[in-house]
């Protein structure tokens, strides 16, 4: 795999994970 492709893939994965985490955090925050 080319370096820049791996970098974009890693950034996309982190972005997705951050969005899911933020979503869960906001859900829990609103419920409490």
| Digit-coded pLDDT (tens) for 1-32 | 577 888 989 999 999 999 999 998 888 876 65
Tokens encoding 17: 């994970």
Query: CA 29 to CA 7: how far, in whole Å?
Result: 32
Q: What is the pLDDT of residue 20?
A: 93
pLDDT for the residue 29: 74
**What's the confidence (pLDDT) of residue 15?**
94
Q: What is the pLDDT of residue 1?
A: 59
The answer to whether the predicted template modeling score (pTM) of the entire model surpasses 0.75 is no
């Amino acid at each position: 795999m080319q370096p820049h492709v791996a970098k974009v893939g890693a950034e996309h994965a982190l972005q997705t994970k951050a969005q899911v985490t933020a979503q869960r955090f906001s859900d829990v925050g609103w419920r409490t």
